[in-house]
A and B are shown apart, each in its own frame.
Chain A
Amino acid sequence: MDRFNALLKKELASELRTRSGIYSTLLFAVLTTTAVGFTSIERAPSPLVASALLWLVLGFASVTGLARAFIVEEDQRTSDLLRLLSPPGPVFWAKLSYNFLLVLAVAAVVVPLHLIFESVHPENWPLLIVGTISGCGALASGVTFCGSLVAKSSARGAIAGVICLPVLLPIIISGMGAISGSFESSNSDVVIGAWKSVAALAGLSLVFAGIGRQLFPFVWES
């Protein structure tokens, strides 16, 4: 636990020193939300389309920002030092926690902006909030492990998106169900279905994090 705390502090301190990760990810997310907002110039999109667009923005922003976690270590040649200082478990959990905080920060900016641009009004706030947090957890755990896979690749910058996005597609689909349900609370079947999607997202977060944790030592020490 001490190692995990120290590594998480190190992640946050190195991020706050340059702020390059949070700036680039946030700016990317805001720009994409603006571009996506053009779809509602003529009329507001349906709840399903609005939620699909939101998850598209969050998914792409995650790939841009979160996959950097391990790539930065390789670029700055600090990964060997990290390997010497700590076993793989705390490294994985620290990177995952940092990524989760980063994607939550991005979602905190993007979701309200998206609601304004798309002119959609949530009728079920708990569903929106829990769905977004579960989705962020799934995005963070999926991208953290995929980021560790590509970190030592010769074309890591280019390949990160190609590897992360297919794994994120099931998350985006479940997220669509969760968030679109929060826009139409009058239909109880839709709301129940949306909570099922939230459960699917939470399940994906746990499974991705669990499998990722088990496989990470092989990847980290390869």
Chain B
Amino acid sequence: MIYRWLLVVLSIAATAAYAFAPNARGWSTAPETARILFFHVPPAMLCSLFYLWAAIQGGVHLVKRSPESDHKSSAAVEIGTLLCALATVTGSMFAYIQWGRFWDWDPRQLDIFLQLMVYAAYFALRSSFTDPQRRAVIGAAYAIFAFVTVPFLIWIMPRLVALSKFSQHAQANNVVIGNQLDATYRIYLYSTAFVVLLVACWAYELRTRQLDLEQQTGDPIANRVSDSHPAVSNSGVVRPIRLRSDRSEADS
């Protein structure tokens, strides 16, 4: 409940920040579009946090083999990938406005897109296993292995000479990372990042609960929603629901 109230208050604050933020100084073209920073930088920063959490929960799953940790790892990859996709799209819009092209082979642009590709493979891998236990183990192992590439892509790859000479982003990155941002913008940026983090955590919690419920009942969530509706529940359709203990006996 506290999530929701905090979210409402902070969303109003973020919207106000977006509306009242002054035009950026020192931008060659369209200074008013600098506000895209509020929606581009937070997802780019936060997706790595979710990938780290996915790797940690993957490690927990490999040790304890608990379905909950698999759900947490899988949900974290889903939310991280959503944020990564958002960062890629807003980054392309940003590149188009500033440099006239949606894709510029900028190392920062490339690293976020490569992260998206590495984690998109996670879903392809999971979907290729029908046995839930094996799917969970393989997914957990890949979540850890894939995370190895994240520090490389964020810190090492943009500094490799072959790519860094194409960097158009270096100045923009230094402004954000090197703490050269105007004080007003800094406050707005961090407050928006906090809102994005809260929304992402809320979505993560809902997704984890959904996966836990699906695992407990063995029934798709859509069926349970229709069961709760009087018109559907009185239709005489009986859906078999197995309890967890029954299923584990049946599996064994």
Contact = CB atoms under 8 A, between A and B. Distances in A.
Interface string B149-165: 10011001101111100
Given A177-B162, A189-B161, A170 B153 contact: yes
Contacts of B140: 218
Contact of A204 (B121, B130, B152): B152
Contacts of A215: 62, 141, 144-145
Interface residues of B, number: 33
A193 B121 CA distance: 30
Contacts, number: 105
Given A149-B142, A197-B162, A154 B130 contact: yes
Interface string A191-222: 01110110010001001100110010011001
- The dominant DSSP class at the B interface is helix
Contact of B128 (A153, A181, A192): A153
B146 interface: yes
Contacts of B128: 150, 153-156, 159
Nearest to A197: B160
B163 A173 contact: yes
Contacts of B153: 170
A146 B141 CA distance: 10
Contacts of B117: 166, 169
Contacts of B62: 215, 218
Interface of A: 48, 145-146, 149-150, 152-156, 159, 162-163, 165-167, 169-170, 173-174, 176-177, 180-181, 189-190, 192-194, 196-197, 200, 204, 207-208, 211-212, 215, 218-219, 222
30 contacts: A48-B162, A153-B129, A154-B130, A159-B128, A162-B121, A163-B121, A165-B121, A166-B117, A167-B121, A167-B146, A169-B114, A170-B153, A173-B160, A173-B163, A174-B160, A177-B160, A177-B162, A180-B162, A190-B161, A193-B160, A194-B161, A196-B161, A197-B161, A197-B162, A208-B145, A211-B148, A215-B62, A215-B141, A215-B144, A222-B138
Interface of B: 62, 110, 114, 117-118, 120-121, 124-125, 128-130, 133-134, 137-138, 140-142, 144-146, 148-149, 152-153, 156-157, 159-163
